[in-house]
Amino acid sequence: MRAAWLTDIHLNFIDVSARQNFYQTIVSENIDSVWITGDIAEAPCLADILIEMAEKINKSIYFVLGNHDYYRGQVNEVRHVMATLTASHPNLFWLPVSSIHLLDQDIFLIDQDGWADGRLGDYVNSRVALNDSRMITDLFQEKIVGRFQLLEKMQQFADADSRKLQEILEQVINKNPKKVVVLTHVPPFKESSMHQGKVSDDDWLPYFSTKIMGDVLMQAAQQNPDVEFLVLCGHTHSEAIYQPLSNLIVETGKAEYRHPEIQKIISI
């Protein structure tokens, strides 16, 4: 089985013709499925672009959402649309509702979207202010109240997704897997959050990493040393490969606005 891994493709930044060319590039790779680790578009056009992609590629598309996918939208509303789309379209699978997928014999694909949780780096003294707190309705409302209310909301989302991932990991481990592929958006370790070849500094790490997700993954890998875990993520637009344990590898994809590309072809 061959899968094309994409991340941070931001297809709302390019026109229809450029998108069609990108889809054709994917088709030409003779893949069996597409895996996307978030930041596909923005909320108002997300569903339409996913349908457009699915109709052109005509392969199963497994995806998670990134922070940009919620821009100009409200989190629960976007998730409702994605759940409805998953139920109605044969080739679109938003993984948080489509659950566990058997790829080949004892190899499974799972995911959770993931959110930055402000627990790494120095949130209190950070001078960074991402557009998330202006473009995502849920976070904008918290920013009006204050900086620590915004952090509380970020952690609320991150912790909820991590609890779901832990539940799914427990379910898939009961199936005696040889390998588990996890798709998520935000890097789960500081070492997988890179910028210009270096780990993101304390100003950026609060927004470019999710410690709680890393804790869940480490626990699963430590408790199941015979299972290989491959985690694919994005968000930082900078490439990184980090292996904290012999059976846990985290790959972060690179990206450039207006130039979507295939990260790699993964053979299972």
Q: Which two tokens stand for residue 35?
A: 């895996």
- CA gap 215, 213 in Å, rounded: 5
> At residue 256, does pLDDT exceed 70?
yes
Q: What is the pLDDT of residue 146?
A: 76
- CA gap 181, 169 in Å, rounded: 11
Q: Which two tokens stand for residue 104?
A: 């080949």
Share of the chain above pLDDT 90, in %: 87
pTM: 0.97
Q: What is the pLDDT of residues 40-59, one digit of tens each?
A: 999 999 999 999 999 999 99
User: Which of 188, 193, 234 lies closest to 38, judged by CA?
Assistant: 234
Q: How far apart are the first and last CA of the chain?
A: 5
Main-chain phi, psi angles of 129, to 5 degrees: -140, 100
What's the whole-number mean pLDDT along residues 224-239?
A: 98
Q: What is the pLDDT of residue 68?
A: 97
- CA gap 150, 141 in Å, rounded: 8
> At residue 204, does pLDDT exceed 90?
yes
Q: Binning pLDDT at 50, 70 and 90, where does residue 144 land? A: low
> At residue 142, does pLDDT exceed 70?
no
- CA gap 191, 120 in Å, rounded: 11
- CA gap 263, 37 in Å, rounded: 11
What's the whole-number mean pLDDT along residues 144-156?
A: 86
Q: Which two tokens stand for residue 42?
A: 């923005």
For residue 245, how many other CB atoms are within 10 A of its CB? 12
Q: 244 near 228, Cβ under 8 Å? A: no
Choose which CATH entry (3.90.1660.10, 1.10.287.70, 3.60.21.10, 3.90.1010.10) describes domain 2-267: 3.60.21.10
Q: 121 near 210, Cβ under 8 Å? A: no
Per domain, the residue ranges of the chain are 2-267
Q: What is the pLDDT of residue 143?
A: 64
Q: Binning pLDDT at 50, 70 and 90, where does residue 96 land? A: confident
Q: What is the pLDDT of residue 137?
A: 85
Burial (CB count within 10 angstroms: exposed 0-12, middle 13-18, buried 19+), residue 125: exposed
